[in-house]
Chain A
Amino acid sequence: MIQAIDLVKRYNGTTAVHQLNLNIQPGDIFCLLGANGAGKTTTINIFLNFVQPTEGKALINGMNVMQDGLKTKQYLAYIPENLMLYPNLTGLENLNYFSGLAGKKYETGELEMFLLEAGLQEEAHRRRVAAYSKGMRQKVGIAIALAKQAKALLLDEPTSGLDPKASNEFAALLQKLRQQGVATLMATHDLFRAKESGTHIGIMKDGKLLQTLTTEEINHTDLEKLYLQHMN
């Protein structure tokens, strides 16, 4: 569902992504671990067609994102690290707008269900986003992704800034989506979360994917050791 073939991205001289190959199947949650500047966000941005790869191909549902940029976006949902919404609109209005942009039509009741499912308490639905905390905005972002009913999920450190409870609820949601056959690519710093909710883990450094493993192969302590080994 999410596929990278020999993906290279160079910014005048520096290589952000080097020879990246990924193949994330429906039901997979691929956690990309790595320090800041490892190329995780660039990889996600290539899949979003925000950044053009220098070489190689990025495919969503078998379609090249460079050629069918708009079409591939039907299949994917994206939650950035710091999700921003329109401050003068309510959470519900934001959700309605963004899901509308994706071509989905929902009744207000259905939209509220998505917000509840994403963990946003009901009294916040009709308040303007200007008064929301970061975590609340992130939940609206999750609701937007849920409403889109995407087959591929691109997450760029989605839980940073969420409190542990919200983070836990998010992990549960990811599992639910996984069971529905959604393929997920998640960039994260959170080794614990990666081990808990991921199916696969990739360790990235200086644009290179150094090692890929399944979460079943490794326990948390070993993962941390392995990670630090690669980083040093």
Chain B
Amino acid sequence: MIRRIATKEFTEILREGRFQVAAIITIALLLISVVISRSYYVAVNEQHAQARQVERALWLNQEAKNPHSAAHYGTYAFKPKYLLALLDPGVDKYTGISIYLEAHRRNEAQYMAAQDQTGLARFGDLTPDFILLFIIPLLIVLMGFNAFTREREQGTLALLKSQGVLPSNLAFGKWLGSYLAIVLLVVPVFIISAILLALVKDFGPFNIGALLLLLLVYLVYYAIFTGLTLTVSAGSKNSGVALVTMLAVWMVSVLGMPKVASNLADALYPYPTRQAFEAGVNDDKKRGLNGHEPWSEEAKALEKAVLVEYKVDSVQQLPFNFDGYLMQKGEEHDAEIYYKHYALLRQQFENQTNVYRLSAILSPFLPTRFLSMGIARSDYQTHWHFADAAEKYRVSMMDKLNMTFAKSTTYSAEARNWKADPSLWKQIPPFEYEPPTYATLLQQQTSNLLILLGWLGLSFLGLIYAAKKV
């Protein structure tokens, strides 16, 4: 019975000019956005690969010099671009693409795409996620708002009801028919996108599973919106009321609630300002060991401790160069300070994330947004993971450089002029970043998945309830 009703609804929708026009526009927009994003990403990716190569070459081609000079010279960690970020660029535009790795400092990622754009970028980009998250739900509203009210208005309701059809059958038949039309629109676009993505060269392995997961998330999202639209249609007196109600629901869910959620997260768990953050770091740094100040109290204390440990009287007798050792200890001290302050930031980030997770109850848009960015690896979680990996790499790089200096020389004034052989630069491997696995991702996103399914259940319940009253 449900199948029969669905078939009829589906046939009706397909024959309607409304759907044909809307579908053509949406598919065209989606494909254009995929093609635009694709060429943009291909260009960015090329630059990215080039920059990586150039930076590595610059690092390797350093002349013989003191390793600590090389540490100050530094290098860059580049954040890889992921294929699915092409469909959902998430926060990529605002997070920066590379981190400068140097001695004594943990730097923020820089060169965000948003910085390069003019004020016009405020008007929004035509990216696939915009269409998938905002436009298709709107299309669902426009196609489904009169699914029930139309029966009343065109006069078919009486005959329909006289045939003795179960209200829940009618509701799910209509739901399935409308939903199939949306699936018919979305799935081919994903298939074409998959082909376009698979054709991108040098973009790393293309994970079809992730794309399917992304598709699944969006299909659930559309199922929810179809359910909500039909619920409102079944519960409304006429098509006008249904349309206005559903447009309000759309606005609140995709525009209002995300704003509420981010304001709430910010109000409850504000991030420190950059000034306050840097002041805190500098305060702590001043109070501690500095590799460049061997006369400070802390440096003297360290010297004493080392001398006691090695049972020698002077730094000259140590089996290594105390200068280099001090440098490394200073580095470690700085790294700890950064670790501490970033842990605070991170705590704030986690708190905000929890607010977002909870606020996902407010609108089906939010869990979908988070899941989509997460799967596309363009969310803040991935960015944090990348920044942490870069910092880890920086710490080990500094350790290698400073300790090579310490071990290769002994404490003396001339040692400062010691130059490491350029072969040392090669011993520092290039920075390779591995994003969190999909298992980790799913773990992070469990609550979003559950909330999304909760919304689906809720929309079905609403539909059954509203259909009884038609």
By a beta-carbon cutoff of 8 Å, the part of chain A in contact with chain B is: 48, 50, 70-74, 76-78, 80, 82-89, 93, 97-98, 100-103, 141, 144, 148, 154
Which B residue's beta carbon lies closest to that of A104?
Answer: B163
Say whether A73 contacts B164, CB under 8 Å.
Answer: yes
In the assembled complex, which residues on chain B have CB atoms less than 8 Å from the CB atom of A50? 158, 161
Stretch at the interface among B10-18, B188-196, B416-424, B450-458: B10-18
* Contacts from B to A (Cβ < 8 Å): 1, 4-5, 8, 11-12, 15-16, 154-156, 158-166
Contact B159–A84 (Cβ < 8 Å): yes
Nearest Cβ on chain A to B331's Cβ, whole angstroms = 74
Q: Contact check: which of A87, A88, A100 meets B4 at CB < 8 Å? A: A100
Q: How far is the CA of A103 from the CA of B163 in the complex (A)?
A: 9
Task: Tell me which residues across on chain B come within 8 A of A73, comparing CB atoms.
Answer: 161-164
Chain A residues closer than 8 Å to B15, beta-carbon distance: 88-89
Name which residue of chain B comes closest to A74, CB basis.
Answer: B164
Q: Which A residues touch B162, using CB under 8 A?
A: 48, 73, 76-78, 154
Q: Which residue of A lies closest to B156 (CB)?
A: A84
Please measure, in the bound complex, the distance between the C-alpha atom of A101 and the C-alpha atom of B151, giving whole angstroms: 15
In the bound complex, CA of A144 to CA of B158 (Å) = 13
- Report yes or no: B164 in contact with A89, Cβ–Cβ below 8 A: no
With A97-B4, A100-B4, A101-B5 as known contacts, state yes or no: A87 contacts B163, CB within 8 Å: no
CA of A74 to CA of B163, assembled, Å = 7
Asked whether A78 lies within 8 Å of B11 as measured between CB atoms, the reply is no
A82: which B residues are within 8 A, CB to CB?
155
CB distance from A69 to the nearest CB of B (A): 8
- A83 and B159 contact, Cβ closer than 8 Å, known pairs A88-B16, A93-B11: yes
Taking a contact as CB atoms closer than 8 A, the residue among B11, B16, B160 that contacts A101 in the complex is: B160
A86 pairs with B159, CB closer than 8 A = no
CA distance A182 to B54 in the complex (A): 91
CB-based contact B156/A85 at 8 Å: yes
What's the least CB distance linking B152 to chain A, in Å? 10
How far apart are the CA atoms of A93 and B12 in the complex, in Å?
Answer: 11
| CB <8 Å contact, B158 and A89 | no
| Closest residue on chain B to residue A79 by CB atoms | B159
**Across-interface contacts of A86 in B (CB, < 8 A):** 8, 12, 154, 156
Q: Least Cβ distance of B144 to chain A in Å?
A: 16
From B165, which residue of chain A is reached at the shortest CB distance? Answer: A101
Cross-chain contact of B8 among A77, A80, A89 (Cβ < 8 A): A89
In the assembled complex, 27 residue pairs joining A and B whose CB atoms fall closer than 8 Å, in A order, are: A48-B161, A48-B162, A50-B158, A50-B161, A71-B164, A73-B162, A77-B162, A78-B158, A78-B159, A78-B162, A80-B155, A82-B155, A84-B154, A85-B156, A86-B8, A86-B12, A86-B156, A87-B154, A89-B8, A89-B11, A89-B12, A97-B4, A97-B8, A101-B1, A101-B164, A102-B165, A103-B1
Max chain B Cβ within 10 angstroms of own Cβ: one of A50, A71, A101: A101
Bound CA–CA A100/B3 (angstroms): 10
Chain B, residue nearest A77 (CB): B162
**A98→B16 contact, CB < 8 A:** no
A148–B8 alpha-carbon span in the complex (Å): 18
Question: CA separation between A83 and B155, bound complex, in Å?
Answer: 7
Question: B163: which A residues are within 8 A, CB to CB?
Answer: 73, 98, 101-102, 148
Docked CA distance A152–B156 (Å): 20
Known: A93-B8, A97-B8, A101-B1. A84 touches B161 (CB 8 A): no
How far, in Å, is B156 (CB) from chain A's closest CB?
A: 5
Return chain A residues, CB-CB under 8 Å to B8.
Answer: 86, 89, 93, 97
Q: Which residues of B contact A144 (CB under 8 A)?
A: 159
In the complex, which residues of chain A have a beta carbon less than 8 angstroms from the beta carbon of B164?
70-74, 101-103
Report the minimal beta-carbon distance from A104 to chain B, rounded to whole angstroms.
Answer: 10
How many Å from the CB of B24 to the closest CB on chain A? 18
Q: Cα distance A85–B159 when bound, in Å?
A: 9
Q: Which residue of A lies closest to B11 (CB)?
A: A89
A71–B166 alpha-carbon span in the complex (Å)? 10
Whole-angstrom CA separation of A144 from B162 in the bound complex = 11
What residues of chain A lie closer than 8 Å to B11, measured between beta carbons?
88-89, 93
Q: For the complex, what is the distance from the CA of A84 to the CA of B154, rounded to whole Å?
A: 7
Query: What is the CA–CA distance of A185 and B459 in the complex, to the nearest angstrom?
Result: 41
Known: A48-B158, A89-B11, A102-B163. 5 other contacts (CB 8 A): A73-B161, A86-B12, A101-B4, A102-B165, A141-B159
Q: How far is the CB of B389 from chain A (nearest CB, A)?
A: 57
B12 cross-chain contacts in A, Cβ below 8 A: 86, 88-89
Complex contacts, A74 vs chain B, CB 8 Å: 164
Most B-side CB within 10 Å, residue of A71, A73, A141: A73
C-alpha spacing A71/B163, complex, angstroms: 10
CB closest chain-A residue, reference B16 = A88
Chain B positions within 8 Å of A88 at CB level? 11-12, 15-16
| Separation of A89 and B158 alpha carbons in the complex (Å) | 18
User: Which has the most chain A C-beta neighbours within 10 Å: B5, B16, B162, B166?
Assistant: B162
CA distance A148 to B12 in the complex (A): 23
Residue among B154, B158, B164 with max Cβ neighbours from chain A (10 Å): B164
Separation of A101 and B162 alpha carbons in the complex (Å): 10
A164 CA / B11 CA spacing, docked (Å): 35
Taking the closest CB of chain B, its distance from the CB of A155, in whole angstroms, is 12
Min CB–CB distance A63 → chain B (angstroms): 12
Smallest Cβ-Cβ distance to B155: which chain A residue: A84
Q: Which residues of A contact B155 (CB under 8 A)?
A: 80, 82-84
| Bound Cα distance A59, B12 (Å) | 36
Query: Which B residues touch A78, using CB under 8 A?
Result: 158-159, 162
Residues of A within 8 A of B158 (CB): 48, 50, 78, 80
Q: Which residues of A contact B5 (CB under 8 A)?
A: 97, 101
Closest to B173 in A: A101
